[in-house]
Amino acid sequence: TIVVHAKHRKLSLESAAKLNLLKFKIKGTGEHQGKCLNLQLHSACPDSLWLTLEAGSRLDSKNESEQDILVTQDQIFVLGSFQSANTKISGYCCQATNHSPAMNADFTIGKPTDNKLVSLARYLSYHHEDENTTQAAVWCISNGKPLASIPKIHNDLRAFVSSITGEPLPWYEVEYNTSSNNLAASQQAKKVFGYIDYKTEKEGELKIELRDSKGRLMMNISNQKIVAKGDHDFWFEMQVSNYPKG
């Protein structure tokens, strides 16, 4: 049970530690998103402490091969006089090309992070998304992953990330091989899919082909057929793990 007295101090974790009012340790849980860090708190203060960790804070891994964590929710931790406590920190990896943090990996509070990541974190602190979608949005900004990696159903989030990165809103989605424990494989696009909208000015034959960036034919998607005048859509879905970029 935490007993909070009328007299208390509200400080950031880092400020409280610098004032010798608090000792803390941040350890990995072995996960890379959601409640992926353990926080151990030990108050050295005779008064209660209200400790804050703001959205946009970056928690740096002491292992340079492992990902740092971006905090995406404002979090408050309350300690009574000289109290110790263990709790969780919610955050998301922000270095997609690094490994996921290991169990008990050591973290420290880093320097202020990129303004674009801070803007995203503050947006996410008021607009709750599922963990996989949130992670995709973070990697869009931290590592330049395509906006199509955010599911199209999350249109508001897509639009917000687009306003930060300047990337146009795509009509399609990209699915990655997230089930793989292999880092290189998990960065590889697995499937591209979505509705292609088009309009015909008159009735006529239609043929849909897939070509690469140099105009070379890769696949005939739809054979010639007669389509009526008007607005149409076409469901496109393709496994792309064996295709080169472009």
pLDDT for res 183: 52
What confidence category does residue 218 fall into, taking pLDDT thresholds of 50, 70 and 90? confident
Dihedral sign for Cα 96, 97, 103, 108, please. negative
Mean of pLDDT values over 165-190:
77
Q: What is the mean pLDDT of the chain?
A: 87
pLDDT digits (tens, 9 = 90+) for 117-158: 999 999 999 999 999 999 999 999 999 999 999 999 999 999
What confidence category does residue 74 fall into, taking pLDDT thresholds of 50, 70 and 90? very high
pLDDT for res 35: 92
pLDDT for res 179: 61
Nearest to 80 by CA among 7, 174, 30: 7
CA-to-CA dists, residue 63 to 31, 102, 147, angstroms: 15, 9, 29
User: Out of 55-59, 98-102, 121-125, which region has the weakest mean confidence (pLDDT)?
Assistant: 98-102
**Assessment of whether the complete model's pTM goes beyond 0.75:** yes
Using the structure block, give the residue that is written with the tokens 């919610």: 90
What confidence category does residue 5 fall into, taking pLDDT thresholds of 50, 70 and 90? very low
pLDDT digits (tens, 9 = 90+) for 24-42: 999 999 888 889 999 999 9
pLDDT digits (tens, 9 = 90+) for 199-209: 888 888 888 88
CA-to-CA dists, residue 160 to 3, 57, 169, 171, 173, angstroms: 41, 20, 10, 16, 16
pLDDT for res 196: 85
